[in-house]
Structure formats: structure tokens, C-alpha cells
Chains A and B, each alone.
Chain A
Amino acid sequence: MQFIKDRFNYLFNSTKGLILVAIAMIGLVTAIWGMLSGPMAEMGVRDWIVRVMGMDLLQADREGRIVILYHAIAMAVVAIETYMINGLLKIKPFLKTAVNLLITVGYILTLVFGMGFAYFGHNWAFHGLYITGLSLMFFAGVLLCVALWPWSKAYHVTSPDYAHTPGGVDLERVAFFATAVTTVLSALFGAVPGSYFGNGFEVFLAENVIRLPEKSVMEYSVIGHLHIMLALIAIMLTLIIGRWLNFKGLWQKFAMPLMILGTIVLNLGVWGVVTPLEPIAHMIIYVGATPSMLAALFLLIWDWNKLIKDGTAHIAKPNFFHKLKALVQDPLKFGPTWQMLFMNFTTSGIGIFMAVKLDEIFRVWPAREERIELTGHWHALSAIIATIILMYYGDMLGLKGKIRQLYGWGIIILSDIALAGVTVFEMKRLFISEAEQQPLVNGLMYAMDFGLGMLLVLLAIVMVWRLADLFKPKGRWAEEATQELAEEVAK
């Protein structure tokens, strides 16, 4: 009994245990449900999975199933970010426990019963529990905002290394707070139309209505919701990575006000799509996105400078190759900001190019081609977010030596191969005709599937190792049960 109690205590009452459970859940869902589409469907794997697992898939429910699948995965990611925030920042113990409890029950209910409802027959009790899970997540978000309240004197900073107001208010904490508050408010933009459309059991995917000149307020709300939630998850992760790496100094002092400003303006723009401001909402969004991306760039500059400086400290006059070696010698410290840079080639750059050339190029193509760009675009962003989380997790595990190198470079190289494949796939019509594309498509599919598949294998190896570790009396889990992320922040 004590055996189970100790493991349960680790998995559900320690930051690292909670993160492990959530990563395992996401890995499982991704591995199984990833086999229902793309080349796996072509090869007949989808039919096999459906049969073996006893899934009940009605054609008319496909879009609804996908909406629930996205939410199931997204809620687990939000839970991971919340655990990280609770582990990295000063939070009152009661609030930390309450937030972790609510968000854990919330995402597990959402994931288990949401997927149960969507893929295994429509058991309406499951649907109720799915909604309960989402509601608990929302309440946990409200409580997190309370916990993050930055104007409490207990959280003031006086160190000149960190951005703060003359009165001592920690601007990094304000950025966390602003992101949390806007996330909770933006959730409403999904909840309200979700209730509205759900009431008539009519669902739609935003990419399928993108070209219609007239959209209802509820449709705009859904489109705004999905864009801003992903953006906010990315912004929050940037803040988390900054805290983990102990982002400080001049670059941090420039970055934090920009992060706060960007987050607020970005949200105002997205919320504006359901108001008469809709015609200029995109302009407001661009204005908001710019400072947020600049802040991320400042983190990257600071991080790379630090890695180079620390890595060449023993060399009197380091040359270019010394610096390059120092930059890339720890893939888990270099990787997160590299992925942020790489994102500009796979996501931001493509997005801006599409926006600029929309009518001239992309809207000349059929809507189904544009859909490929749209879905590829945010799948790539989601995948980048996942890889950054996995790199931080690798550091949390205390991976060292060759294992650290293999794990870190494995994530970077495999994901970047897949993401490069996705990017070329999205843009293929710019340089190849429909009639001639098949060999290229095959090659790109191999690249994407190889990259993502091997990444999942890598994750599976880690998960199996962690599972085996749980059976050891004094395994790594026993150490992690009492460790906290704040203690491991870089010096």
C-alpha cells in the first residue's frame, strides 16, 4: 500500500510528477490519434486502430471530434505550463495546491471523458464530465490570476538585474499575470460560442469558413479564440523559459515591458473581431504581436550571448568556432530559443508572407489548398511549443553527458526535419504543379513522418524509462518528489 501511496504522492503531488503524467497523457493521445490521419490512413493503419480500439466514428461528427481532440491536448499543455509557473514563481502554498488540484482534475476529466465521448460512442454523461473538466480548468485559471497578483509586497523585487517599477513591482510577474488574465478572458471567447453551437450540435472548423465574406459574431469569436489561445500558450512558455534560464539584465528590462504591452494589445485586437472594430482588428493584432516577438528576440539574444560567454570563459581570445561550439554544446539550453528562431521560418515568416500575398497568390488557389497552409501553420506552432516543453523537461530530469546530447539534439533535429517538411508541403504550389507533385509529396511525407515518428519513439523511450523507474524503491522519482523547479533555475 505504501508503495502505491508513495508513487501516487510523487505523480500527483509534486511538480515534476504532475508534469510527467501530463506529458505521458499527451504522448499517448498523440501516438494513437496521430494514426487516424495522413499516411497512416492511406496505409490502412487507421482502419486497424479504429477496429482494435472499438472506436465509433460517424462521418457527420468528424469536425466535432477534432474540436474535442484539440481541447483534450491543449488542456494538458495548459496544465503543464501551470505546473511550471507554480514551480518557478513564488506562490502561496494554499493557492499552489488549489490551482494544481483543480487543473489536474480538470485536464484529466477533459481528456479522458472528452475523448471517450468523441470517439467511443456519444455517452452524454461523458460529455457532461468533459464540460466539467473545462470548467474546472477555467476556475483554476481564475485562481492562478489571484495567486500571481504582482502588486503584493511579498513579490516585490529590488535587484537591479530584473525589470521592476520604482516601487519594486516585478515586471516579469506582471507579464505572467497579464498573460494569465488574458488567457482566462480569451477562454470565454471559445466557451460562449461553444455553448451556442453545441446547443444545436453544429460545429465547424475555422479553416473551412475562412473565405466566406460574412461571418457571424459567434464564428468570429471561435476564430479569435483559437488564434489567441495558441498565441498565449506560446507567450506563457516564452516567459517560463525566461524564468528557467534566469533571464536578467538589460535585455530583460527591455523585454518585460514589451511582453506586457504586446500581450495586452494582441488580446485587444483579437477580442476586437467580435466588435465593430473588426475591420481594423488585424492591424491591432500586428501592433500587439510586434512587441511580443521583439521580447522573445531579446530573450534569444541574451541566451545566446550567455551560452557563448559561459562556454568560452576559459579561452582568452575565442574565435568564431569557439563561440559556435559554446553556443551549441548544451542542446537543452540552446534548443528552446533555437526553436523560437526556427519558428520564424516555419510559422511567423510563412504567416506574414501569406498575409502580404493573400489575394495575389493564396486566394487564387482553391480553398482546400489554403486550408493546408492554415492547418499546417498552427500544427507547426503547436509542435514547436511541444518540443520546447520537452527540452525543459529533459533538463528537469537532470539528463547529463551523452544522453543529454542525444535527447536534446534528437528533439531539435527530428522536429526540425518534420517542420521543414511541413513548411515545404504548405508552400509547394509556389514551385510545382498539382499534376507533377506526387514524388515531392511522397518525399515530404517521409520527412514529416520520420521526424515526428522518431520524436515519439524518443519520447516513448523516456516514458518507459520513467515507468521502470517508478518500480525502484529509491528511483529518480524519490528525489524528484521533493525537488522544486525554482531551486533549479540557472544561476
Chain B
Amino acid sequence: MKSKIQSLSLLTLMVFLISGCRAVDLHAPIPVIETGIDSNGWAKIPAGTFLSGQAAQVTSIEYDYEMMVTDVTTNQYTDYLNTSLASGSVKTGQFGGKKAITVFYPGDKFHGIKHEEKIDPGEWIIIPLEDPASHFTFDGKKFASLAGYGNHPMTNVTWFGAWAYCAAQNGRLPTELEWEKAARGSEDARPFPWGEDISRERANFYASRDPFEDMSTYGSRTSPVGFYNGQTYAGYPTLSNASPYGLYDMAGNVWQWTGNVYEGMHYRFMRGGSKDVYDMDLRVWVRNNATPTYFSPGVGFRCSR
């Protein structure tokens, strides 16, 4: 009996270990879904006050601005890369010893604060070229989206990549406050763009059981921009996650880079939570940050102007 228990325990342990070592197919087929939401659309956010932060403080933005209705898609970004590569505004090269596309960034003022790192003028990485988690291909001349990912958010893009894209569209990255107002609206202190409560049908977050994830292998994956708009896709019902100003995916799917460059720190901030985090991180006031050279399959962006 004792040896049987020992064998069973050993077997269980082996199963855990083997399941943990299994290779992940990063390019497993993904459902192709058209959401009908226009990724070229911009929403207008009027000047005025709104409630910012967890403590809902009255805050004012004294100007009108516009923000993209969805995250920048892989198709949009690969189009930009092809144009920019042809014009020479971005380059193929090396960054940190790995192949990458780079862009010139004029640098930030350095204050010498503890943990602050220099961002000098020079060529900085916008995307890595050999990362298996990227959703685009590059044959040395042309970029293209991976099949099924064209209308998904552009990911594996650094802050410099987001900054450069927005500049090329005559826009910029939104400030954190602009982002928060666009997500929350001006009427109340709602924690999510649609209201107080969150459910799996409303946003793409960790283990939200959407048609794109498989938690036993590759885990949570991005969903097409504007996927959560109230439609039912092949039996999978969604609820609209549009913000009061009509922006989609301001909670979940991918973290979104924002534009602030703060004194004494090189970190850049992200908002909105992603497919990889629990629902609590999708609240509109939650902040994340990373070095501007950071890229991840869970980080994207949208622009404002």
C-alpha cells in the first residue's frame, strides 16, 4: 500500500513536471473574425472636467482632442513599417545584439535620479525582428501580418515604436490623463469603461474563456480590435465594452503605451490591462510601466491628436 502511494505521488509529480515542460505552439491557428468596427476611426473627447484616479478627483483637460477608436492593428502597423522602411525613416539594424527595426529618438533630459537611466538621442528599437511571439513576418524587404492577426492589436512594439507610429500619423501618444478620460467618460467614477462590474463577455483578460485562448497550451491571446461590441460570434456572445466616448478595448486585450515622459524616471506608463492579467488590473486608474525598450505580446497602443 505504502509503495503504491509513493508510486502514485511520483507519477503525479511527473505529470506536473511534464505538463510544465511542454512546448507551446506560438503560431497555432486562430479564429478569423471580422468585428465590423472601423480601426481607422477617431473619437472626439470634448474639453472639460472628469473624475480621475481611484479616489475620483475632479480633474480638468482644457482642450478637445481625438483618440483612436481601437488599438493600432497589425495591418496598420505593417503598412506603416513598409512605408517608413521605403522612405528611410526607420532602419533595419541591431539593438542589444539582436536584429531589430530602429528609429531616431531625440532623447530625454537626464536628471540623475536613483534608478533613472539615460535615454540619449540616437537609434532606438521599435520592434524586434526575430521574436517568435511577433504577429508579423518580414522577408527582408516587406512586412506582412500573420494570417488571422491583421485586425488584432499590434504587439511586440516598444514605446519608441508607438511614439514613431503616432508621429507618422500626425498624432501623438495620449497622456495618461487623456487616456483615462477617454476610457472613463466625464459623468461618473466608473471603474471600467462600461460601468461598475466586469464579466467574461465584456473584455479579454486572463482566463476570460474567449475563443482565442487555450489555458492548457498557449494561454490567453489577443482578440481582434472591437471584438467586444455586443455581437455573437459563432455562438460566443459578447457585451459591448465601448467607453462613453465610443472607444473599444480600453480595458483588456493589450496594455496601451501612453506618452508622458516624467522627470527623473525613464519608465513609460501603460494603461488598460491586458489579456495576461486579472480583471482588477483592467480598472481605468491602474498603471503599469516598463522601460521604453520593452516589448511584449501583451502590449500595444493607440494614438491621440
Q: Which residues of A contact B288 (CB under 8 A)?
A: 366-368
Assess whether A439 is in contact with B133, with CB atoms less than 8 Å apart: no
Least distance between B157 CB and chain A CB atoms (Å): 14
B55 at the interface (CB under 8 A from A): yes
Q: A213-B116, A213-B265 are in contact. Are A200 and B55 (CB under 8 A)?
A: yes
Q: A60-B191, A435-B24, A436-B26 are in contact. Are A442 and B115 (CB under 8 A)?
A: no
The complex places the Cα of A440 from the Cα of B16 at a distance, in Å, of 9
The complex places the Cα of A442 from the Cα of B278 at a distance, in Å, of 15
CB-nearest residue of chain A relative to B262?
Answer: A213
The complex places the Cα of A70 from the Cα of B216 at a distance, in Å, of 32
Q: Which residues of A contact B290 (CB under 8 A)?
A: 364-367
Proximity string of chain B (180-213) to chain A, C-beta cutoff 8 Å, 1 when within and 0 when not: 0000000001011000101000000011000000
Q: A59-B196, A368-B288 are in contact. Are A435 and B19 (CB under 8 A)?
A: no
The complex places the Cα of A212 from the Cα of B264 at a distance, in Å, of 9
Assess whether B267 is in contact with A367, with CB atoms less than 8 Å apart: yes
Residues A415-435 near B (CB distance < 8 A): 433-435
B281 at the interface (CB under 8 A from A): yes
B117 at the interface (CB under 8 A from A): yes
Consensus secondary structure, chain B interface: loop
Q: Which residues of A contact B265 (CB under 8 A)?
A: 211-213
Assess whether B191 is in contact with A440, with CB atoms less than 8 Å apart: no
Assess whether B16 is in contact with A367, with CB atoms less than 8 Å apart: no
B226 at the interface (CB under 8 A from A): no
Assess whether B219 is in contact with A433, with CB atoms less than 8 Å apart: no
Of the 9-residue stretches B86-94, B161-169, B292-300, which lies at the interface with chain A? Answer: B292-300
Assess whether B55 is in contact with A202, with CB atoms less than 8 Å apart: yes
Q: A366-B270, A434-B296, A436-B24 are in contact. Are A202 and B219 (CB under 8 A)?
A: no
Assess whether A440 is in contact with B113, with CB atoms less than 8 Å apart: no
Assess whether B115 is in contact with A359, with CB atoms less than 8 Å apart: yes
Q: A60-B54, A367-B289 are in contact. Are A443 and B294 (CB under 8 A)?
A: no
Sorting the interface of chain B by its residue count into under 10, 10 to 19, 20 to 34 or 35 or more gives 35 or more
Q: Which residues of B contact A41 (CB under 8 A)?
A: 278
The complex places the Cα of A182 from the Cα of B132 at a distance, in Å, of 53
Q: Which residues of A contact B299 (CB under 8 A)?
A: 366
Least distance between B55 CB and chain A CB atoms (Å): 5
B218 at the interface (CB under 8 A from A): yes
Q: Which residues of B contact A214 (CB under 8 A)?
A: 264
Residues A207-257 near B (CB distance < 8 A): 208, 211-214
CB-nearest residue of chain B relative to A47?
Answer: B199
B11 at the interface (CB under 8 A from A): no
Proximity string of chain A (45-71) to chain B, C-beta cutoff 8 Å, 1 when within and 0 when not: 000000000000011101100000000
Assess whether A435 is in contact with B216, with CB atoms less than 8 Å apart: no
Proximity string of chain B (54-96) to chain A, C-beta cutoff 8 Å, 1 when within and 0 when not: 1110000000000000000000000000000000000000000
The complex places the Cα of A59 from the Cα of B197 at a distance, in Å, of 8
Which residue in A59, A211, A358, A438 is a CB contact (below 8 Å) of B283?
A59
A residues neighboring B (CB under 8 Å):
37, 41-42, 58-60, 62-63, 200-202, 208, 211-214, 358-359, 363-368, 433-444, 446-447
The 9 closest A-B CB pairs, nearest first, are A443-B20, A438-B219, A435-B133, A59-B191, A366-B290, A42-B207, A213-B264, A440-B20, A202-B55
Question: Can you pick out 23 interface pairs between chain A and chain B where the beta carbons lie within 8 Å of each other?
Answer: A37-B278, A42-B206, A59-B198, A60-B56, A200-B55, A213-B116, A213-B265, A358-B115, A364-B291, A364-B294, A365-B294, A366-B255, A366-B299, A367-B289, A434-B133, A434-B298, A435-B132, A438-B24, A438-B215, A438-B218, A439-B22, A443-B16, A447-B16
